[in-house]
Structure 1
């Protein structure tokens, strides 16, 4: 065991690759799109407000993830966890703690799902699609945060020349972005139809 493990993380560019910057741009673009969709839905006076609240939540969530992607804040949290493991003497048993962490987060997510489904049960299909994309992104983030080495090696492997973690993360973001744009276009079309009649 190492007694004097030091905190060595410093904020910096987390993923300086082209794919990293594209991912950040997608996060921020999706965040702005969801925020605009939220505003559009709120102006649609006959619509249930829960739809607007969820677009706001997704917008803020993606904005934070976009900032985190380039500042690499999760590495700082991992470093803090590693320091705690060393100082408390359970570094050798860290895989068990990682498993408990992932299982706990999964249990909380599973417990929240029925309430969330009830909340959005009357929402349009675009909201459901956005939630599927958000689930992809959240699942990816949680698995990466747990830092399992065998999963990390899978995420770093390539498919058609692209790393899996680029594919999984960007796919979720693009799904949300497309759902948001579709929802906003639908609302604008409905508002335009009501104004014309």
Structure 2
């Protein structure tokens, strides 16, 4: 079932199906990218101000996560990953059975998100009063990213619905970013 695959073969296949481009060229997309950028700056400022080693680790990881997710928001790297999976499954001959692998990948992604959030809560034990809003914001962002990665059509329809002409997915993602930014502002103001 699994054949040896040449990396250049997969790269050529992915190149045929995906090219780097702006993933969400809408106003809402760019507002979200700017919000990620603001979170990077505020989280970095917090990282530089806090003295506690666990808080420094936490805010350092928040900086990296916000930077990666902000870049990914517009480069649409998950589409490249999807194309790579599709190419690999076609080349190795298991494309017709891909649903099993997709389910395993989704479960793995959700487990990873839960473990990372549990790690954040554990890391911040005794410090949740100061950092809990950011942990909650990370939970929102992780939930949003997981839902988008899963790509269930009925969930996509729901989060693609609009409230005051703004898609729910934008509101959901921005809510997490606002919570992270607000916690960072609070910490830099009192440290």
TM over 0.5: yes
- Pick which of 99-108 and 49-58 moved more: 99-108
Match of 2:19 in 1: 10
Q: Which runs of 5+ in 2 are unaligned?
A: 1-12
Match of 2:171 in 1: 167
- Pick which of 158-167 and 49-58 moved more: 158-167
- Pick which of 55-64 and 156-165 moved more: 156-165
Match of 2:41 among 28, 32, 50: 32
Match of 1:140 in 2: 144
Query: Structure 1, residues 107-156: CA drift from partner, whole Å, max 9, x if none?
Result: 34444555443321111523111011011111211221232223222222
1:110–1:142 distance in 2 versus 1, CA, 3 Å: closer
TM-score (norm 2): 0.84
Q: Residues 89-104 of structure 1 correspond to what in structure 2 (within 5 A)?
A: 89-104=93-108
Secondary structure at the residue paired with 1:7? helix
Query: Structure 1, residues 150-181: CA drift from partner, whole Å, max 9, x if none?
Result: 32222222223211211111111111011110
Q: Is the 8 A contact 2:36 2:177 kept in 1?
A: yes
TM-score (norm 1): 0.81
Q: Does 1:73 align with 2:82?
A: no
The alignment of Structure 1 onto Structure 2 pairs a total of residues equal to 179
Q: Which runs of 5+ in 1 are unaligned?
A: 43-47, 188-197
Q: CA deviation at 1:102?
A: 2.0
Match of 1:118 among 122, 138, 141: 122
